[in-house]
Amino acid sequence: MQWNELKMHLRHISSKDLKRIQHAFELGKQVHEGQKRKSGEPYFMHPIAVMHMLADIGADADTLIAALLHDTVEDTDLTLTEIDKQFEGDVAALIDGVTKLEPEDVAGVPTLNDQIETLRKMFTLIEEDARIIVIKLVDRLHNMQTVEHLGEERQKAMAQETMDVYVKIADRLSMQDIRDELEGLCLNVLNPELLVTLSKLRERNEGNTLKVITQMEKELSAANTKLFQEVELQYEPKSWSKLKIQMQTTQAKTGVADVVISVICRNYNDCYTTLGYLHQLWPRETLSFQDFINSPMINGYRGLHTTIILENGTRVRCKIRTEEMDAYAHLGIATICFDNEQIGLTEYLIPWTKQISHVAADTANDSDEFWETLQNDILGESIVIHGPDDSRIILPAGSTALDGAFYFLRERALKLKTISLDGVMVNYRTPLTHASSLSCSTGKIKTVKREWLDWVNSGVAVAHIRNALKQESKAVREAIGKEMLQSIFTKQKKGYIEEFNAGTLEAATKSLGYPSMTEAYLALADGHLNPEDIFEGVFNSSKKIRGAEKDREQCSISFTLNFDNIEPVTNTLILYKKYGISLRNVRFRPLAMMRGHVNVVHSLSPKEQVAMLKDLQAVGALNVEIHKAGTRRKFWVGICLLLLLWGFDPAIARRIIDEYSVSPIDLTLLRFWGLACISGLLVLWKAFRNDIPQTRLPLCSISLWLSVVLMIMVALLGYTALQTTDPIQYSIPMTAAGVLLTTIVNRKHIFIMACSWVLLIAGVISAVIFAPAWPLQGIVTTFLTVISFSLFSILSERYKRRELVGARSAQYFFVLSLLAAILTLPLASFATIPSLSATAITNILLFSIFFAGLPYYMYYYFLTYKQIDFVLRYSFIIMFTTLLGQMLFSKHITPPSTNVLLSMGVVTIGAALPIACKKLQCMRNT
């Protein structure tokens, strides 16, 4: 195309600006000389085509010059500086706005993507000049018109990006014509068969609509000939997405009208008069009327919408507009953004672009997060909410009340006190619905906290909250971040952060764009990073990413729900549908009047578990817990096994002593040598199985060495006591000691603790005084064992807490066993092990492994995730398992006397008293 031919499309341009455009034309032609497009035509034909289309919608001179030169910075040696020197005005800024970033522009930052960063740049600059987005849309339109010259994969990639971004942008800007053409071109690449089907449906709709228009024009003219000589009825094509809905479902189900027409009037008064005649001549569909003249859409669109029903039942969607409104419906902001004053543009575009600027700044180091927020907040489905002073604002669908507060109040929402929806005070996490009225009250001090990030779904709210969280001191934020990461380590039963190699942790954070743990902790506290991401990087870095279905696991979801309000119940049922939960998998248990406990079993991925937890809290569910199905059952089975093995321990030890005449020294030596070997193999197996290196336990600790000595004393004294003591008599004071340790840890209820102590001591004293034939030696060694065990429990727990032993429980058990085996070596000179039979040695080793070693390992394992009092709280059961073991395994011991059983009962009451009081308190609170 030559300049003279192109000039014919520029009649709206002044002669002065024509010279500037001609200069740009010659410059573009010169710098692009020799370049070819994939189609084989000269490359400069593309900028000319873009300028041509922009000229047809009335673009100004600067926009047309920018269109001619928009690819020069990317594809030629021409620079923005040179362009700025040659062309005054906004040309250079417009070209910069549509110029792509290259991969080298974001090199060195693993979380940045050049394509997404180009979008970020473009969206950020829209706030300064809306013409940038119009140029980019027309540029993309021409690229899609010639997309057939690209390879198949490139075609699909461009079409998908266009569908995901540019079609939605055109819709947001009310640029209906460009939107529909872009969407049709995308469908031609992505789903040509569907396009053919929809095109046929559109042709059929057009034929039906023209018949309807002819019929309606006759009746309207008969009603008011003068008015309807000036009013024009036009066929309005449905968008491709609306056609798809019409094809897939019935009108009764979707509310999509059979026919859509636009009614073009001379002025506002004629619009309302025409509306009156339509409603007078034909019945209208209930709730179909919308007045976008008095209350324009957020994107600036105006018009009157109503659906009438003809005599034959045909539903006709009528869009009544003036010519100016109709132009805006088709071209959107292109009808106003080229004016010097840009009247009406600020009211719509500035709030929209302000949202983008907040989000862009907040996600500056993460392209994927910006893309996700862009898709959700700007380009996704939306709702309109009414606020103070009859203001309205558009929010992403799925927003919460707290999101709405930030959209209306901005920074003032950081001082939020209460939120009300439709006059009723609500929880911050309450979902918003279309057309709700929202009001807020604020205070003088900031009330923002880290949990708010879990209560919002919009990028705008997240950006404000994160920015506020950054105001805390670095030390406080680092501590918060570390606590958050430790929380997920504990939840996933991985112990303490300090137990793992620092290099492994930093490798995970570096892959996420944070070069050190300190920066990662700060990012966690600020909300830029989720602890789940670091955890996944540490423990699954060596695994291949699996599909979503493979990641799903059977989960138990439990929560409490109030039934005095129907809304939480309705919203919960909606959630069931959202996550595909069948009502057959829902179990309900009433707790009180209008309150019940709900339990659901369903397969969820880790991300779905987090999302559902937030969703349930948002709809008003209380005490929400989601965990892997069967976890609790396994835990309680483990606890029962531990108490059973521990209870059988003295009974089987007494059987071995009686049957093989084994000395306490022999038992002690074989016990620790056997445990050292088995625990060593266990550590090697765990090290081989787990590729996450752990830190070594420090051996230079008084608590550790005293724990080893006390553990040896427990074994020696305990086996000595069992030579002359019935297992059940031995078990009663041991149980009482364990419960006493529990009450020392929990000192909240003094009176209950005192009563428990009295009962425990009374039970032990009665066992000593009234137990038949309990020799003094047995009593003394039993109580020395009790003291040694109590001190061992306290000191070993102190060491574990000081050195943060969690994931290293197997390593700790091996260290204890090995050091005990070493320290007991001097006792070998007093041993008689060589004289024992092979059967005796085998039985002793098996006993040491399964009834001494395994319970201790299980004990340490449970202590990794629960406090020391959790296991000991139920230790009174050990007395009954010991009694059972005594009856099963002891040959020469008489059944327990009534006094012994009475002592057991008193100790049991003393141990169960705190548990019963706690349960009653929980029931009272419920």
Domain CATH code at residue 423: 3.10.20.30
**Quick one: pLDDT at residue 756?**
86
What CA–CA distance (Å, rounded) separates 476 from 285? 59
Q: Say how far apart CA 241 and CA 249 lie, in whole Å.
A: 12
Q: How many CA atoms lie within 13 A of 106 on its CB side?
A: 21
Shared domain check, 718 and 863? yes
The CB density around residue 877, as the number of other CB atoms within 10 Å, is 18
Q: Check whether residue 243 and residue 168 sit in a common domain.
A: no
- Return the number of other C-beta atoms located less than 10 Å from residue 26's C-beta: 12
455 and 479 housed in the same domain: no
Residues 398 and 457 in one domain: yes
CA angle at residue 181 from 178 to 184, to 5 degrees?
Answer: 145
Taking residues 261-273, what's their average pLDDT? 94
By the 10 Å C-beta count (0-12 exposed, 13-18 middle, 19+ buried), 473 is classed as exposed
Q: Is the confidence at residue 341, as pLDDT, over 60? A: no
Burial of residue 462 (CB within 10 Å: 0-12, 13-18, 19+) is: buried
Tokens of 618: 């948002």
C-alpha distance from residue 148 to each of 1, 189, 681 (Å): 22, 8, 65
* Per-residue H/E/C for 181-231: HHHHHHHHHHCHHHHHHHHHHHHHHHHHHHHHHHHHHHHHHHHCHHHHHCC
* Cα separation, 83 vs 75, whole angstroms: 14
Domain count, the chain: 6
Pair type for strands 382-386 and 586-592: unpaired
Integer Cα distance of 147 and 225 in angstroms = 49
Say if 910 falls within a structural domain.
no
Report the distance separating Cα 907 and Cα 742, nearest Å. Answer: 14
Tell the residue number behind the tokens 């061992």, with chain if given.
792
Round to whole Å and give the CA distance between 586 and 84.
67
Tell me the two tokens of residue 888. 């099963």
Domain identity same for 38 and 139 = yes
The answer to pTM > 0.85 is: no
Comparison of pLDDT for 892 and 909, the residue scoring more = 909
Least confident range of 753-762, 859-868, 907-916: 859-868
Q: How far apart are CA 901 and CA 911, in angstroms?
A: 15
What CATH number does residue 218 fall under?
A: 3.30.460.10
Q: What's the start-to-end Cα distance of the chain, in Å?
A: 81
What is each CA distance from 239 to 176, 179, 292, 380, 571, in whole angstroms?
8, 9, 19, 17, 32
- Strand 259-265 relative to strand 315-322: parallel, antiparallel, unpaired? parallel
* Sheet of 315-322, strands arranged across: 232-235, 259-265, 315-322, 304-309, 290-291
Measured on CA atoms in the order 324, 329, 330, 335, is the torsion positive or negative? positive
> Is 351 contained in some domain?
no
What is the DSSP track for 503-565?
A: HHHHHHHHHTT-SSHHHHHHHHHHTSS-HHHHHHHHHSTTSPPPPHHHH-EEEEEEEEEE-SS
- Write the pLDDT tens digit of every residue in 484-527: 888 888 777 788 888 888 888 888 888 888 888 999 998 888 88
How sure is the predictor about 54, in pLDDT bands with cuts at 50, 70 and 90? very high
Q: Which of 348-362, 399-413, 560-574, 699-713 has the least mean pLDDT?
A: 348-362
CATH code of the domain covering residue 595? 3.30.70.260
Degrees to nearest 5, angle at CA 701 with 697 and 702: 150
860 in any annotated domain: yes
Range of 318-332, 367-381, 567-581, 855-869 with top mean pLDDT: 318-332
Q: Residue 348's pLDDT is what?
A: 56
CATH of the domain at 51: 1.10.3210.10
State pLDDT tens for residues 86-119: 998 889 989 988 887 555 554 555 555 667 777 7
Last residue of a domain, one of 192, 217, 249: 192
Q: Which two tokens stand for residue 628?
A: 């892997």
Q: Alpha-carbon dihedral of residues 179, 180, 182, 186, nearest 10 degrees?
A: 130
Going from the C-alpha of 385 to that of each of 348, 417, 739, 779, the distances in angstroms are 15, 20, 58, 78
Name residue 672's amino acid. Answer: F
According to the model, what pLDDT value does residue 200 have? Answer: 92
| Mean predicted confidence (pLDDT) in 669-680 | 92
Last residue of a domain, which of 629, 661, 687? Answer: 629
899 falls within a domain = no
For residue 649, give the amino acid letter.
D
Hey, how many other C-beta atoms are within 10 angstroms of the C-beta on 389? 5
Query: pLDDT (tens digit, 9 = 90+) per residue, 133-143?
Result: 899 999 999 99
Question: Which phi and psi angles does 419 have, rounded to 5°?
Answer: -130, 135
Residue 866 has pLDDT above 60, yes or no: no
By the 10 Å C-beta count (0-12 exposed, 13-18 middle, 19+ buried), 229 is classed as exposed
Residue 347 confidence (pLDDT): 56
- Kindly list the strands in the beta sheet with 553-562, ordered across the sheet, starting from the edge strand earlier in the chain: 586-592, 595-604, 553-562, 622-628
Mean pLDDT lowest among 573-577, 705-709, 795-799: 573-577
Secondary structure letter of residue 455 according to DSSP: G
What pLDDT shows up at residue 538? 81
Identify the sign of the CA torsion 205, 207, 208, 213: positive
How confident is the model over 810-823, as pLDDT tens digits? 889 899 999 999 99
Q: What is the DSSP letter of 278?
A: H
The answer to whether 406 and 464 are in contact (CB under 8 A) is yes
Same domain, 316 and 213: yes
Averaged confidence pLDDT in the chain:
84
Average pLDDT over residues 689-700: 79
Residues 816, 845 share a domain: yes
Look at residue 916 in the predicted model and tell me its pLDDT: 83
How far is it, in rounded angstroms, from Cα 899 to Cα 876?
Answer: 17
Residues 150 and 96 in one domain: yes
Dihedrals phi, psi of 27, to nearest 5 degrees: -65, -45
pLDDT value, residue 869: 53
Enclosing domain of residue 610:
548-629
Find the Cα–Cα–Cα–Cα dihedral 884, 885, 887, 888, rounded to 10°: 120
**344 alpha carbon, distance to own chain's centre:** 39
Residue 837 lies in a domain: yes
> Which helix (H) or strand (E) segment is 602 a member of?
strand 595-604
Question: Both 643 and 561 in a single domain?
Answer: no
Shared domain for 460 and 563, answered yes or no, is no
**Last residue in a domain, options 539, 557, 592:** 539
pLDDT of residue 545: 38
Q: Is residue 771 part of a domain?
A: no
pLDDT band at residue 340 under the 50/70/90 scheme:
low
Shared-domain flag, residues 575 and 653: no
440: enclosing H helix or E strand: strand 438-442
Classified as helix, coil or strand, 460 is: helix
pLDDT band at 308 (very low <50, low <70, confident <90, very high): very high
Q: Among 192-206, 244-258, 827-841, which stretch is predicted with the lowest mean pLDDT?
A: 244-258
Whether residues 803 and 880 fall in one domain: yes
Q: Would you state the pLDDT for residue 547?
A: 40
Please check the confidence at residue 327 and state whether its pLDDT lies above 90.
yes
Assigned domain for 211 exists: yes
Show the tokens assigned to 617: 């809290």
Rounded CA separation 594/620 (Å)? 14
How far apart are the C-alpha atoms of 638 and 359, rounded to whole Å?
49
The per-residue pLDDT for 300 is 80
Residue 660 maps to a domain: yes
- CA max distance for the chain: 125
Residues 893, 726: contact at Cβ < 8 Å? yes
Q: Please name which of 97, 84, 68 lies closest in space to residue 1, comparing C-alpha atoms.
A: 68
| pLDDT score for 254 | 44
CA dihedral of 763, 766, 772, 774, whole degrees rounded to 10: 80
What CA–CA distance (Å, rounded) separates 841 from 798? Answer: 35
Q: Which spans in 99-151 are helix H?
A: 114-126, 131-145
Pick the range with the lowest mean pLDDT from 143-152, 321-330, 546-555.
546-555
37 φ/ψ sector (left φ>0, alpha ψ -120 to 50, else beta): beta
Angle at 318 between CA 257 and CA 249, to 5 degrees: 10
Q: Give the percent of the chain with pLDDT over 70.
A: 90
Across 591-599, average pLDDT: 79
Q: Are 349 and 130 in contact (CB under 8 A)?
A: yes
Region 64-81 average pLDDT: 90
Lowest mean pLDDT among 315-319, 439-443, 917-921: 917-921
Report the alpha-carbon angle 307-310-314, nearest 5: 75
Q: Is the pLDDT of residue 551 over 70?
A: no
